[in-house]
Structure 1
Amino acid sequence: MADITQAGIFSKPNAAAAPAVLRTLLDWLDRRGVRVRMDENTAAYADGAAHGLSREEVPEGTQIVIVLGGDGTLLSAARAVGDREIPLFAVNLGSLGFLTAITIDEFIPELERFFDGERKISKRRMLHADLERAGNISARYGALNDVVVTKASIARMIEVEVLINRHKMCTYRADGLIVCSPTGSTAYSLAAGGPIVFPTVEAVCITPICPHMLTNRPVIVPSDVEITIVNQAPDESAYLTVDGQVGEPLQQGDRIHFRRTAHFIHLVRPPHMSFFDVLRQKLKWGET
């Protein structure tokens, strides 16, 4: 990687720890002669000392993107980075945080290691989803974690059909359906009873949410297959959500087509920490 001359910064809104962390970060980058591009949340923490950009603009021309927040902030940053494959350095200002594994106490030493060339990058493939309505593609989405079709009303289940390579797999009657990447297997899918998938496994997990049939279990398929969800629920009875952050109501007959992206999101990980270290820490494995 070329020398780092410009960094992007994304921040979680209303994070009590963010102003102090940002001041430390900006001072450190300034001593290194690194220019900064920041989103509007970060600019607000900087007391108006800098101009905030839209999240889509921040990664342009940067060699690293630093995320101050939790997994939600990182997911938003990942979609903004898109196919640029710029390393994402995520500092955990929240609590759980499977993706934001670097703590406040560790972030300056870990940043120094990265700038000095001691770099451990975890490559995570994203999901691409096309929403087809009345025969036309009406929206395109990228997801690092998952795409979810869920019920929009309080009590009713929804009905969706799933096709794999255009062959029918199953019709689910459930509260919803999750299609997740290996990265997203420790998010909503895990809470819904899905398996934990090692991040580099080339697979996609299809996890029903509270299915009517108890035999409807999570299914793991190769990442190179074409997955299609056909919404059979009445108009606006189902809702499409991407990474828990963006989405829209669905119409009856809408189709969501999934495929893996050709590019990867590059997450900076502490050199001493493995995926299983994170699982033990976050899931409290082995504790009494």
Structure 2
Amino acid sequence: MLPIFRRVAIIGKYQRSAGGAMPENSREIIDCIARFVAEQGCEPALEAETAQLLDLHAYPTLDIEGIGRQCDLCLVVGGDGTMLGVGRRLASHGTPLVGINQGRLGFITDIPLDSYRAALEPILHGDYEEDVRPLMHACVMRGSECVFEALALNDVVVNRGSTSGMVELRIEVDGVFVANQRADGLIVASPTGSTAYALSAGGPMLHPALPGWVLVPIAPHTLSNRPIVLSDATQVAIEVVAGRDISANFDMQSLASLQHGDRILVRRSAHRVCFLHPRGWSYFATLRKKLRWNEGGS
């Protein structure tokens, strides 16, 4: 049986240690995955930086744009942080992603490294669960000028510096005033991001099929300021009214030193990220494992 994905890209996220050495077995892991992909009848290609860092030159290499243009599938070897970055960069190309996790099970990198062969073989031949996640588009307006613009898969966070006091933020939804909030900050989270920082700050978990966002204040001065679930068809505007050392974070992308009067505008992006999971994958099973819920039976 021929695979349905002709050309498959492989991306690994590996950081050199202070002494310049690569983590143990990194080169062997990526090489084994590439050889397995080839054995299934696909054409493997390595992301250029991955190939360079690991000194792997037996396969064609492509940059991210090249992967988006030329590859039918992308395997991401790492953790959820790596997947977030790759997902944002490939979203405009619609390239589906599969996550192989080297450490603990991730929310979106859900295939354990030690069982990737059994999980990947049916996926490469068309047997998988498709999981499409929306992206957020955010920009920082300073007067009439956009000074920063980014996509986010998890969340947009406006918060105070580590040594400063509370910030005051004015919040609007579709141009309608909601509230002025004094807090350590505010999170606008997608369903994907609702199990990240927003959950730690007391927000609800949103099922990924819901077309919604959640606004979660971080340590609000007034305890009646509670999380609010919104439709993701709305535009959220957050204006910096008061405070010092305020920053905005878009997943792991940051803009420090926001000024009073800056407005952070958040809307639904035209792009989405498509994750492929092994057949039988369950969002609730992932929650049970990651959050260590008592399963209470079979």
How far off is 1:52 after superposition?
6.2
Match of 2:282 in 1: 274
Flag the 1:161–1:181 CA change in 2: closer, same or farther, 3 A: same
1:24 partnered with 2:53: no
1:85 partnered with 2:94: yes
1:142 partnered with 2:143: no
Q: Is the contact made by 1:158 and 1:237 (CA closer than 8 Å) also made in structure 2?
A: no
Match of 2:272 in 1: 264
Q: Is the contact made by 1:71 and 1:100 (CA closer than 8 Å) also made in structure 2?
A: yes
Task: Quote the Cα distance in structure 1 between the aligned partners of 2:226 and 2:125.
Answer: 46
SS in 2 for 1:281: helix
The one-letter amino acid of 2:129's match is K
SS in 1 for 2:247: strand
Task: Quote the Cα distance in structure 1 between the aligned partners of 2:181 and 2:32.
Answer: 50
1:232 partnered with 2:213: no
How far off is 1:276 after superposition?
0.3
Runs of 4+ displaced beyond 6 Å:
none
Match of 2:133 in 1: 124
Any idea what the Cα deviations from partners look like across 1:118-138, whole Å, max 9, x if unmatched?
021101011111211121222
Flag the 1:247–1:280 CA change in 2: closer, same or farther, 3 A: same
Alignment partner of 1:133 out of 120, 128, 142: 142
How far off is 1:252 after superposition?
1.3
Q: Say what the alpha-carbon RMSD is for the aligned residues.
A: 2.1
How far off is 1:48 after superposition?
5.3
- Note the 1:192-207 alignment, pairs <5 A: 192-207=201-216
Share of identical aligned residues, percent?
Answer: 33
The one-letter amino acid of 1:208's match is P
How far off is 1:50 after superposition?
5.9
Q: Is the contact made by 1:159 and 1:174 (CA closer than 8 Å) also made in structure 2?
A: yes
Any idea what the Cα deviations from partners look like across 1:152-211, whole Å, max 9, x if unmatched?
241311111110111111111111111010010001101111101100101010111111
TM-score (norm 1): 0.91
Q: Is the contact made by 1:231 and 1:254 (CA closer than 8 Å) also made in structure 2?
A: yes
Q: Is the contact made by 1:240 and 1:250 (CA closer than 8 Å) also made in structure 2?
A: yes
Higher mean alpha-carbon deviation, 19-28 vs 171-180, is at 19-28
How far off is 1:4 after superposition?
2.2
Task: Quote the Cα distance in structure 1 between the aligned partners of 2:263 and 2:128.
Answer: 41
How far off is 1:272 after superposition?
1.4
Task: Quote the Cα distance in structure 2 between the aligned partners of 1:89 and 1:42.
Answer: 19
Q: Is the contact made by 1:70 and 1:100 (CA closer than 8 Å) also made in structure 2?
A: yes
How far off is 1:8 after superposition?
2.2
Match of 1:67 in 2: 76
Match of 2:7 in 1: 6
Task: Quote the Cα distance in structure 2 between the aligned partners of 1:39 and 1:176.
Answer: 38
Task: Quote the Cα distance in structure 2 between the aligned partners of 1:261 and 1:186.
Answer: 20
Q: Is the contact made by 1:150 and 1:238 (CA closer than 8 Å) also made in structure 2?
A: yes
The one-letter amino acid of 1:25's match is I
Task: Quote the Cα distance in structure 1 between the aligned partners of 2:103 and 2:32.
Answer: 18
SS in 2 for 1:78: helix
Task: Quote the Cα distance in structure 2 between the aligned partners of 1:239 and 1:257.
Answer: 14
Q: Is the contact made by 2:88 and 2:152 (CA closer than 8 Å) also made in structure 1?
A: yes
Which structure 2 segments of 5+ residues have no match? 16-22
Q: Is the contact made by 2:168 and 2:180 (CA closer than 8 Å) also made in structure 1?
A: yes
TM-score (norm 2): 0.89
SS in 2 for 1:82: helix
The one-letter amino acid of 1:116's match is H
Q: Is the contact made by 1:175 and 1:210 (CA closer than 8 Å) also made in structure 2?
A: yes
Match of 1:247 in 2: 255
Q: Is the contact made by 1:22 and 1:46 (CA closer than 8 Å) also made in structure 2?
A: no
Which structure 1 segments of 5+ residues have no match? none
SS in 1 for 2:38: helix
1:163 partnered with 2:172: yes
Flag the 1:35–1:92 CA change in 2: closer, same or farther, 3 A: closer
